[in-house]
Structure 1
Amino acid sequence: MKRHVGIAMALLLGVSGISGCSKPSAGTADSVPSSAASSQQKINTSQFLTFVGNDGDSMDPQCTSGLYTVALNVFDRLVEVQVNNDGSSSITPSLARSWEISPDGLSYTFTLQEHVKFSNGSDLTSSDVRYTLTRLLTHPDAVNKDIAMAILGADALRSNEADTLEGFREIDDTQFVITLKEPYAAFLANLSSPGASILDEETTEKAGERFGRESEVTIGTGPFVFKEWNKGYDLVMTANPDCWSGAPRCKGLKMLFVEDPEAQRLMFERGELDILDLEGLSTDAEYFVNGDIYQPYLHQGPRVGISYIALNESIEPLDDVRVRTALQQSLDRQLLLEAVYSGRGTLENGILPHGLIGYNPNLPAIPYDPDGAKKLLKEAGWDDGFTMNISVEKSDYTGYSELLTLVSAMWEKIGVKTEISVVEDEAFYESRKKGALSCYTSTWSADFNDPDNFMYTFFGTPENTFGRSLCYGDTSVMDRVSHARSIVNEAERIKEYQELEEIIVQKDAAWIPLYSRDHYFVVSKRVEGFKVSWNGWSSNRYSDVAVLET
């Protein structure tokens, strides 16, 4: 019999058929290069670097899992990630100039850089680090608390059983010790993520809810100063000439909020943007990637991340593994990659993507088998199919419309119909946090290069999986994921993660891995020094980017 199931499946996509875009016009004199930018050209330090970014409710680095441009440019972290010439990555000093790890892997003794000041003139001290970690664990809106959960006493602090963080001990203003409750191999890597940005204790505490929302009280040690935020229009950061790591090479940053891809492309061609992220441009991106004019100005890097479709096991019929497997096998993922991104990426078959420590090239490929999918639905009692309501973030609707159209068409072939609801971003995340979304598609990029950033984030605890609207039910698997964090032997730890990954995706079909993507940017002829972030984020750090005189 025919059944209708109300499923809030948050795919970041649209309903209409794949629409053709008009061919981009030829570039203007401002945007089309006559020759590559030369380092011999004079740097114009009076010019702002202009690009498009995402607006939001708050730029508080502890309370966002995606709006990282302010975090990366206004703030610093104790350590950073550096990409080596061979493509590997390593942890390098930042606000912490050195650290020592005890033989048992439990204690980390850090020494801060000397004479570091916040942009308001306050000195950076060990107390600011303590405050940052304490706030991360106790702020009601913090979404990055996992960064600090390995510290001794974190659970007691979060549950109000303690007033202070037991595992943090200040030696003096520049030295402190962090003690973990058990060994955690990814702890240092965790501290390099934007959510671990170090805050000025006095200013942040006094600001209260204004922090992250009002520029004058959102203070960091980074190369830029949060100057102005005109919601719906732009956000301005000005150069911090006294930054401890050196002054940036441009006057400041102007991040414009422009959702329409064609408008972004036209702005770039008119010379109104210095950097254009091609990821959301759909077919317009082909003009830049495959044309001859902009080849010297293309910058490409792998996105160390994975696009996926999450399936909520707590909602019928997704509580049946046969239904979840049918949804996996009914998608021609290679066709999706070709149609939506012109093949610029790699199919993924698990949770850990290409480029991430722990990636398993030997995972079995998920087959495209629509006939087998129909049989599985019949076995599960859904031979007449069902209807799924697909919710989508409003801000991501345009960029993912083609993918949603194709996914809907493929599922309809096995009897699964889709209804799409476009939801305001805040409402979307609130519903997801409550475990109310049945299924959604999204992309998770590495905050730090360790499998823990993927495995534990999504499948490490019942709380984590519920907050992602996955509602994965195998607690024994989640216990193993959680325990793997403390395995000191690296080979043993990676082997455990890979075994768990196969169970979650291949056996339990807890989500549908799609692909990892290559990330392209195009820059104007007056830009020098731009590099794609190591993990392929849209958010980048711009302190080394200069605007040249033309």
Structure 2
Amino acid sequence: MKRTLLKRTFACFLAIQVALSASACGAGFSGDESNRKEKEQEPDVSRFLVAVEDEPDTVDFQCTSIHYTVAQNVFNRLVEMENDAGGNMEILPSLAESWDVSEDGKSYTFHLRNNVTFSNGENLTSSDVLYTFERLLTHPDSCNSDIVDIIEGAESLKNGETDHLTGFEILNDHDFRITLAQPFEAFLACLSMPGASILDQETTTEAGDRFGTDPEWTVGTGSFILWKWIPQEGMLLKANPACWQGAPKCDGLDLRFANDAREIRRMFENGEIDVLDLDEVGNAAEYFLHGDRYQERLFHVPRIGITYIAMNETIAPLNRKAVRMAMQMALNRRQLLTAVYGDRGLVENGIFPHGLYGFNPELPEIPYDPENARRLLEEAGYPNGCKLTVSVNSASTQWELSVLRLAAAMWEKIGIHANIEVIDEKDFMDRRKKGKLTCYTAQWMADFNDPDNFIFTFFGNEHNTTYRSLCYPDHRVMNRIQIARGIADPKDRIREYQDLERTIVQEDAAWIPLYSRERYYVTSERLGGIQASWNGSVKNKYREMTITDKKE
């Protein structure tokens, strides 16, 4: 049995009372001395790796689809996805050291590592995994339930028909069996997503709403411990010396909340940031990319993700297919990529970007044809053009806003008058989740290397498509996507996904693909060992990076 947090808190309370009593009795241990000793035990923040983050409202990875840095560094998953020596994707053991899959592809028996502890000292057990998955399915604000909704009984648990996930069988403290409702080739890959990070059952249950907002209650098994969260300033994560993977190579992470491009550039040039994603500095990226000063500190990796424009099919004029096709054809996407990103990327024509397993190089190109776009607009009943509101998340980069302004200028030429509104991030997300945004642009980075992470996320069911404010109406396509998940033969599954992609983008014009981009970082002089994961992000590789004192 695990000790409860209440017991730990009470013991801590007694210890504090004893210490205070000793001090009051003149034991020679003053309060100032106590504070001094406590500070001496704190890590040296000056040796923390410093990076920039958007300020999250929560780091509860089950309830966010954008703020994953804490999930990637404070928590672990059952498995991880990485590149092998040949550049191919492979599933690697993490909290689960091994697993067995039945011949029919429906049953997975997992074996947890022994002696893995959360940072509060509690042991990891099968019960924690069960709790994690059940919470993922039942939390009222969960937005990542599709990671595990393929498990047998998931739908009944979500609907309140039962209080237990029937497809999850605990065999003992370190072994459990998961039975799927149907075979799903990408199931293990799904379990590598940040949203599938494993929770400490007792602490998280007792934490309630404090989990994901209060460092004391946000406890994981990962390389770092969420130590401090100062609103409007940043977060401090200190190294977890007892991590089952071994201690990280840096003493901690200093994540500064900032989204103003000029301020971020100033901070980096003043030596206040160690890892700078050039997406964060807008047009100033050209200075870092082409100037002599930083050439030896540039780090370049491919990015598996796509920038797209979403259109809400329940809101006029986007409820007309001809209008959506006109919007596609009016955009010179190569020009957008060149003008804003210096042509550092690839134009995309579908949902699955270059580099993703299942990418279709044979997908027809969406033509740039403004004359035909005008004709389509007239046929849709808008000979004098139409108006459209396009929303931008206030946390978006300057580059994203620049792209949208250029796109609006191209639409203007065919008679679509786009009004760009910048919305506070919280309001933006609330409206998007409810299917209330008319049109917006965003980018989607692959969470796992499978087309399911794209097509099911956006078009897999009515909830998913509403959650993204696409409000795609074709339930026949949604049903085909769900059936495709269970196709056992990998080639047949990919073939069906690619056919569905063609239907959604080319035939229904339900999505405007723009481009995928290469990713560039620049580092400080004191940072060493920078590397990226398979999808181009460095954030889940912080544990491998080092900070060296310039004097050393």
| TM-score clears 0.5 | yes
Determine if the alignment matches structure 1 residue 394 to structure 2 residue 394. yes
Write out aligned runs for 1:75-474 (5 A): 75-396=75-396, 398-474=398-474
Q: Is the 8 A contact 1:69 1:541 kept in 2?
A: no
Distance in 2, Cα, partners of 1:353 & 1:88: 16
Higher-helix-fraction structure: 2
> 1:50-89: per-residue Cα shift (whole Å, max 9, x none)?
0101111101111111111100000000000111233221
| TM-score, normalised via structure 2 length | 0.90
| Paired letter, 1:465 | T
Q: Is the 8 A contact 1:45 1:547 kept in 2?
A: no
SS across alignment from 2:457? helix
- Decide whether aligned partners of structure 1 residues 495 and 274 sit closer, same or farther in structure 2, where only a CA change above 3 A counts: same
Distance in 2, Cα, partners of 1:285 & 1:73: 27
Q: Is the 8 A contact 1:461 1:479 kept in 2?
A: yes
Count of equivalent residues: 507
- In the alignment, what sits opposite 1:30? none
Distance in 2, Cα, partners of 1:301 & 1:251: 25
Displacement of 1:305: 0.8
Displacement of 1:292: 2.3
Distance in 1, Cα, partners of 2:402 & 2:443: 15
| TM-score, normalised via structure 1 length | 0.91
> 1:110-131: per-residue Cα shift (whole Å, max 9, x none)?
0001100000000000000000
Distance in 1, Cα, partners of 2:314 & 2:229: 40
Q: Is the 8 A contact 2:312 2:469 kept in 1?
A: yes
Q: Is the 8 A contact 2:52 2:257 kept in 1?
A: yes
Distance in 1, Cα, partners of 2:319 & 2:183: 35
Displacement of 1:541: 3.1
> 1:418-462: per-residue Cα shift (whole Å, max 9, x none)?
112221111111111111112111101111011100010111111
Displacement of 1:397: 5.8
Displacement of 1:104: 0.3
Distance in 2, Cα, partners of 1:538 & 1:443: 17
Determine if the alignment matches structure 1 residue 508 to structure 2 residue 485. no
Q: Is the 8 A contact 1:526 1:549 kept in 2?
A: yes
| Paired letter, 1:520 | Y
| Paired letter, 2:362 | N
Distance in 2, Cα, partners of 1:518 & 1:266: 24
Distance in 2, Cα, partners of 1:140 & 1:339: 42
- In the alignment, what sits opposite 1:27? none
SS across alignment from 2:172? coil
Distance in 2, Cα, partners of 1:376 & 1:177: 54
SS across alignment from 1:447? coil
Q: Is the 8 A contact 1:67 1:539 kept in 2?
A: no
Distance in 2, Cα, partners of 1:125 & 1:542: 26
Displacement of 1:46: 7.0
SS across alignment from 1:282? helix
- In the alignment, what sits opposite 2:6? none
> 1:84-110: per-residue Cα shift (whole Å, max 9, x none)?
233221110000000000000110000
SS across alignment from 1:115? coil
> 1:191-221: per-residue Cα shift (whole Å, max 9, x none)?
0000000000000000000000000010000
| Paired letter, 2:201 | E
Structure 2 gap segments, 5+ residues each: 1-43
- Decide whether aligned partners of structure 1 residues 46 and 287 sit closer, same or farther in structure 2, where only a CA change above 3 A counts: closer
> 1:341-388: per-residue Cα shift (whole Å, max 9, x none)?
111110000000011110000001100000010011111111100111
Q: Is the 8 A contact 2:264 2:280 kept in 1?
A: no
Q: Is the 8 A contact 1:397 1:422 kept in 2?
A: no
Distance in 2, Cα, partners of 1:45 & 1:235: 11
> 1:230-270: per-residue Cα shift (whole Å, max 9, x none)?
11111110000110100011110000011111111111111
